[in-house]
């Protein structure tokens, strides 16, 4: 029996995990019970901020009968172990994108979730972005006709790779950024990917001791449509926004495009900037009203209202398969096929 106020915990309270803790502590249908992080000082600090318990042992959360839902917000490469532990413990589990950085691990998580009665979801946050949803509505309602081509660019200022994380070499723009764009285009097309052909380059970050890709371009064929994806982690810090984001989708009867760099607001002080998401901040009236918090609230709503989340772990499996194929294509210099029917069989 699910309570009307879901007791929740967060595993990994770095930059993004703190947003999960903030929402669970604030939302009227949830209660933050505990945070977990390998860095005890950080876990203790976040727990003190929100008035909850803390631990460095995720198994304490798995064993606790007082915790119903758990967010996994560990680094990209470290989702599997905590997510599997919580799924096997029967918790409702929200996993930050990507589901996993290894396809076998992604399949194993989705397979385990099928045997659980609890809710599971991947946080593909742009599905809750009002602007992206407007494009989805246009596609669904047929205003663009049948989608046949797409383009998506999502890149970050170089500071993200060099200063934000200590684990950048174990991720890259492919695992950190492509999950967003590849998921959103698959969501728009409502088709499955069939082949990936990609190119990538290393050098700038490697020279700074971060052995990962600087930039990647991938062409993905879907059932009928196709899309080009570009991503980079070496955008100059002088760029007015920490992100460099543009998306377009072409249909038989129309086109939609989104320039997400510029949201209609600019500041000129010591630097010309386009403000980015107010991460970890309330509005001036004390409310959490930014779109980055919406998928977390939605996950809690799904638990309380007994609704299956729309961003499934199988969506996460296909997403991981697309990125894994991208890396394989770069390394082998050839197109890599994707068999989604085979993936579905592997999960069932």
In angstroms, rounded to a whole number, what is the distance separating the alpha carbons of residues 99 and 312?
A: 10
- 135's enclosing H/E stretch is helix 130-140
pLDDT (0 to 100) of residue 261: 85
Name the pLDDT band for 2 (thresholds 50, 70, 90): low
CATH fold match for the domains 6-124 and 127-296+317-341? no
Reply yes or no on whether the pLDDT at 10 is more than 60.
Answer: yes
In angstroms, rounded to a whole number, what is the distance separating the alpha carbons of residues 225 and 222?
A: 5
What integer is the mean pLDDT of 328-336? 98
What integer is the mean pLDDT of 279-298? 88
CA atoms within 13 A on the CB side of 115: 11
Single pTM value for the model? 0.96
The string of pLDDT tens digits covering residues 122-158 is 999 999 999 999 999 999 999 999 999 999 999 999 9
Name the pLDDT band for 167 (thresholds 50, 70, 90): very high
Using CA atoms in the order 133, 239, 216, 290, what is the torsion angle rounded to 10 degrees? -30
- 3-class SS string, 74-132: CCHHHCHHHHHHHHHCCCEEEEECCCCCCHHHHHHHHHHHHCCCCCEEEECHHHHCHHH
Nearest to 11 by CA among 37, 33, 31: 37
The string of pLDDT tens digits covering residues 172-227 is 999 999 999 999 999 999 999 999 999 999 999 999 999 999 999 999 999 999 99
The token pair at 130 is: 């009002």
Reply yes or no on whether the pLDDT at 37 is more than 80.
Answer: yes
Name the pLDDT band for 3 (thresholds 50, 70, 90): low
In angstroms, rounded to a whole number, what is the distance separating the alpha carbons of residues 308 and 299?
A: 9
- 162's enclosing H/E stretch is none
Q: Among the CATH numbers 1.20.1110.10, 3.40.80.10, 3.40.50.620, 3.30.360.10, which is that of 127-296+317-341?
A: 3.30.360.10
What percent of the chain shows pLDDT beyond 90?
91
Q: Which residue has the tokens 């709503």?
A: 301
Do residues 27 and 297 make contact, with C-beta atoms less than 8 angstroms apart?
yes
Nearest to 120 by CA among 98, 90, 100: 90
How does 271-290 read in b/e, with b if 16+ C-beta sit within 10 Å?
eeebeebeeeeeeeeeebee
Name the pLDDT band for 281 (thresholds 50, 70, 90): confident
pLDDT (0 to 100) of residue 48: 98
Domain parsing of the chain, residue ranges: 6-124, 127-296+317-341
pLDDT (0 to 100) of residue 170: 97
Name the architecture of domain 6-124.
3-Layer(aba) Sandwich (3.40)
In angstroms, rounded to a whole number, what is the distance separating the alpha carbons of residues 64 and 267?
A: 47
The torsion region of residue 205 among left (phi > 0), alpha (psi -120 to 50) and beta comes to: alpha
The string of pLDDT tens digits covering residues 213-248 is 999 999 999 999 999 999 999 999 999 999 999 999
Nearest to 32 by CA among 12, 6, 13: 6
Do residues 121 and 95 make contact, with C-beta atoms less than 8 angstroms apart?
yes
The string of pLDDT tens digits covering residues 289-315 is 888 999 999 999 999 999 999 999 999
pLDDT (0 to 100) of residue 276: 75
The token pair at 133 is: 């949803």
Dihedral sign for Cα atoms in the order 301, 304, 310, 316: positive
Q: What DSSP designation does 159 have?
A: H
Lowest mean pLDDT among 60-64, 81-85, 157-161, 261-265: 261-265
DSSP per residue over 274-317, as a string?
-----TT---TTS---SGGGHHHHHHHHHHHHT---SS-HHHHH
CB atoms within 10 A of CB 190: 13
């Amino acid at each position: 029996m699910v309570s009307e106020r879901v007791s929740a915990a967060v595993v990994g309270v770095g930059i993004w995990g703190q947003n999960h803790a903030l929402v669970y502590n604030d939302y009227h249908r949830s209660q933050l019970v505990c945070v977990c992080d390998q860095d005890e000082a950080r876990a203790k600090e976040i727990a003190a901020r929100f008035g909850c318990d803390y631990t460095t042992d995720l198994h304490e959360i798995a064993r606790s009968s007082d915790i119903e839902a758990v967010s996994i917000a560990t680094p990209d490469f470290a989702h599997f172990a905590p997510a599997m532990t919580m799924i096997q413990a029967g918790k409702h589990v929200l996993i930050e994108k990507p589901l996993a950085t290894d396809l076998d691990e992604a399949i194993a998580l989705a397979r385990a979730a099928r045997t659980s009665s609890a809710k599971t979801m991947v946080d593909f946050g742009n599905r809750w972005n009002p602007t992206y949803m407007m494009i989805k509505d246009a596609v669904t309602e047929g205003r663009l006709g049948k989608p046949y081509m797409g383009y998506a660019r999502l890149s970050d200022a170089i500071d993200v790779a060099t200063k934000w994380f200590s684990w950048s070499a174990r991720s890259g723009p492919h695992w950190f950024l492509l999950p967003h764009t590849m998921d959103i285009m698959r969501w728009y097309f409502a088709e499955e990917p069939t082949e990936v052909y990609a190119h990538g380059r290393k050098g700038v970050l490697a020279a700074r001791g971060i052995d990962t890709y600087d930039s990647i371009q991938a062409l993905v064929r879907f059932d009928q449509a196709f899309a080009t994806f570009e991503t980079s982690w070496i955008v100059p810090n002088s760029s007015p926004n920490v992100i460099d984001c543009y998306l377009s989708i072409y249909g038989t009867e129309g086109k939609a495009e989104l320039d997400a760099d510029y949201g209609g607001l600019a500041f000129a002080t010591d630097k010309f900037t386009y403000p980015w998401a107010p991460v970890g901040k309330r509005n001036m009236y004390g409310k959490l009203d930014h779109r980055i918090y919406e998928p977390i609230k939605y996950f809690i709503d799904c638990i309380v209202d007994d609704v299956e989340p729309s961003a499934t772990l199988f969506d996460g499996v296909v997403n991981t398969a697309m990125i894994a194929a991208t890396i394989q294509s770069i390394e082998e210099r050839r197109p890599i096929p994707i068999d989604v029917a085979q993936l579905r069989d592997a999960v069932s």
